[in-house]
Structure 1
Amino acid sequence: MSPVGFFCIMVGETMIERSEKMFELDHFLREETKVEKEQRKSGFNVTDPDILDELILSGDKFRLNGDFLLSEEMFFKKGDVHIRKHNRYSDMPLHHHQFLELNYMYSGSCTQEVSGEKIILHEGDIIMLDRGSSHSFQALGEDDILINVLLKVETINTKILQQLVRKRGVLTEFLVLASQRTHEEDQFLVFRTGENKKVQTFMHYILEEYYGETEPNIEVIHLYLPLLFMELARTFEEETKGQQRHHNQVVTEALAIIEKDYRTLSLEMLAQQLGFNKNYLGNLIKKETGDTFKQLLQRQRMLHAHHLLLYSNYSMEEISEEIGYLDTSYFFRSFKKTHGKTPGQIREEALHRDL
């Protein structure tokens, strides 16, 4: 049966059955585990017993540059998908892993540092972490329920990519790279899907299937995962297009301001006008145009200087001042660097042409 056909059958359940399952799942996830009770009392991180056994037996085998390295053999003893609730009330130290990981913010919010970048997830959001990524967590509160979905490399390659093979995009490329044994990168994707009802529905079905039975049916979860990833791909694509349109508009506005106010403009002033952080705006301009703010500003000044040399009787000092340079010698050097000739040579050539 295809994933779509399977899903159509599942959505046929009554609203009462759906509500009962969601209530049971919610109650289960909010109930404190033994580790959570210990962490709430002590405030210190307590390693899950099943992971602790592996660490004790392995010695330093599961360490990378002094940090914990979470390997596939720790989690996938009963199948190629492993789901676990992140234990609340204590910080989680920096660790690496050898599998693809999805963090789903079921309830509340969390703050984590991923490969040196601070990421805040809100309810309904998902972050996808590649093999080799490193991250740490700040302590979760009572209402902060974070679900970790761990996938073996083989699962991505054989079960998921088959469904996404026709879908070209950032997410598909991410999964293709993650499925390659030789590939380990500290990349990640964040999906702001709190308002996406399809993503929430797929995640709830996956969690109900995993926690609803004594032994979860992993094959059923395999049917849901491609549906989840296809919806994430569509969400990411739409969000990226929206961001690109916004970026284009911002850069267009920035260029218009540079063209108008180049005499006195600074990056700080431009950022203030557009309502952006100075460094962020500078990086955006560089990314979208290939030039820095300083290069664009100087180019605009040199264009106007060239125009004044050809079509005005301004002196060199007046032109220098007109374009925003108080130091005439600096103007001369900048002009020659841009046009390959001095201002005097440009003006002289123009006069000879007019004779």
Structure 2
Amino acid sequence: MHFSFMTLLYLFFSKKKYRILHIVLTISTQSATLHTKKGNTMNLNTLHHYLTTLSPSELRYRAGERYTGWENMPKVFVQDKEYSLLNITDTDSLVYQHPAVLQNPGIHAELPEISIKKNSRFNPVPEHIHPYIEINYVYSGQCPQIIDEKPVTLMKNQVLLIDTNCPHSIEALGEEDIMISIIVKTDFLRDHMFSQFSNDSILSRFFINAINEKTNHNHYLLFHSENNRRIPLFFNELFCECFDPSINSNDIIMHLFYTIMAELINVYENDLTQESAFSTSSMVIPILRFIERNFQTCTQESVANFFHISPNYVTRLLKKHIGLTYIQLIQEQKLEYAAKLLRQTALSVTEIAHKSGYENVTFFYKKFRQKYHCHPTDFRGK
């Protein structure tokens, strides 16, 4: 049986959140071993050996040699300041030559949407910009950087998202400092991946909006994932697949990348809650969660009573943080749930309307057509 990539993604996200398809990949937290279709195995000890072994260029850098290619790189001015520009010469495959990155085929992974490479140690990276999004993960040690003139030290298991055209530099990494960079096409991350998460959940939509707003303002975002159980597990599996690719390697890598980004949204929820303990952001999160679980039956008054606030304040909070009134949000939730049932079940349209919280089926047809520009039956056939 053959599944298209988008079908696999749909199956993947329609199951319980962030669970990897068992038909593609098995993760064992006890043995920490990746089993590939070829029958090869890679354990975490082997992965650690591969990641920490010095490359020929790292041996030269440790001996005092420095990369001099920055002088020949194109220069651009941003706000009257000159920066070296790291560009992607092949926009289709994201193949590029980054002097701070090892050209080691073991951890080198090139896909149409993302590129994964390990950063070289013992060699500082001067201030530069690039027209793509960069995601850094520290496998071990730490990584001091200067981002938009602000010092940021990325610790073990933390993740850093750097926006396009954000000036940043990296201090020389020590022998125990292992950092992996994932280069992502901007339109893929924001227009495709984040929109997929936004369609799944109003909470996800809220956190993605918050991530985008903060990244647009600060040009970077640090995820405090150092104590997260899943993040190192998912990254380790990703690196294992890069070193020891299986028959379905590209699909597995993309599924794992989706899973990592989904888990980072969970991480950001904790970060945002701590940052906004005394702001309205901390109040809107439980309200969104309550509505997401009770949208078929809850009313604006019942939500207000549950949180001991006025009904008008419920709408003001929602309008401020997600741009929708209470009524608009409930309609969105009901229609998205109905669309999900149309795709995943054989229930009649009337049954789906009732399960989605609509007593008047004619009204359901009207609202569904307004949102999806087709009849529910036609939507199911797409």
Q: TM-score normalised by the shorter chain: which range applies?
A: 0.5 to 0.7
1:150 aligns with 2:183: yes
Contact 1:131 1:185 in 2 (8 A): no
2:56 alignment counterpart:
34
Structure label with greater radius of gyration: 1
Distance 2:47 2:189 in 1: 26
What SS class does the counterpart of residue 143 from structure 2 fall into? strand
Q: Which amino acid is 2:186 matched to?
A: V
**CA apart distance, 1:227:** 1.8
Question: 5+ residue gaps in structure 1?
Answer: 179-183, 249-355
2:205 alignment counterpart:
168
Distance 2:213 2:255 in 1: 19
Distance 2:214 2:223 in 1: 19
**CA apart distance, 1:221:** 2.0
When the two chains are superposed, the root-mean-square deviation of aligned CA atoms in Å is: 3.2
Select the residue among 124, 130, 133 that pairs with 1:100: 133
1:212 aligns with 2:233: no
Distance 1:230 1:60 in 2: 35
1:41-120 equivalences under 5 Å are: 41-45=63-67, 60=74, 65-73=81-89, 76-77=94-95, 78=110, 79-120=112-153
1:201 alignment counterpart:
233
Contact 1:101 1:148 in 2 (8 A): yes
Distance 2:152 2:170 in 1: 10
Q: Percent identity?
A: 19
**CA apart distance, 1:46:** 5.5
Contact 1:133 1:187 in 2 (8 A): yes
Provide TM-score, normalisation by structure 1: 0.58
Q: Which amino acid is 1:11 matched to?
A: T
Contact 1:209 1:216 in 2 (8 A): no
**CA apart distance, 1:202:** 1.6
Give 1 or 2: higher helix fraction: 1
Contact 1:76 1:82 in 2 (8 A): yes
Contact 2:75 2:83 in 1 (8 A): no
Q: Which amino acid is 1:245 matched to?
A: A
What SS class does the counterpart of residue 276 from structure 2 fall into? helix
Q: Which amino acid is 2:274 matched to?
A: G
1:108-257 equivalences under 5 Å are: 108-157=141-190, 159-165=192-198, 166=201, 167-172=204-209, 174=211, 187-213=219-245, 217-245=249-277
CA distance 1:205–1:163, change in 2 (3 Å):
farther
Question: 5+ residue gaps in structure 2?
Answer: 1-7, 35-40, 96-109, 281-382
CA distance 1:16–1:109, change in 2 (3 Å):
closer
Count of residue pairs brought into register by the alignment: 235
Contact 1:107 1:144 in 2 (8 A): yes
CA distance 1:173–1:198, change in 2 (3 Å):
same
CA distance 1:173–1:71, change in 2 (3 Å):
farther
CA distance 1:12–1:89, change in 2 (3 Å):
closer
Q: Which moved more, 1:27-36 or 1:87-96?
A: 27-36
**CA apart distance, 1:145:** 0.2
Q: Which amino acid is 2:47 matched to?
A: L
Q: Which moved more, 1:200-209 or 1:132-141?
A: 200-209
1:25 aligns with 2:43: no
User: CA offsets, 1:228-261, max 9 Å, x none?
Assistant: 122111211122212322789xxxxxxxxxxxxx
User: CA offsets, 1:266-298, max 9 Å, x none?
Assistant: xxxxxxxxxxxxxxxxxxxxxxxxxxxxxxxxx
Distance 2:270 2:137 in 1: 20
CA distance 1:82–1:63, change in 2 (3 Å):
farther
CA distance 1:223–1:122, change in 2 (3 Å):
same
Distance 1:242 1:186 in 2: 18
Distance 1:25 1:216 in 2: 19
Contact 2:51 2:178 in 1 (8 A): yes
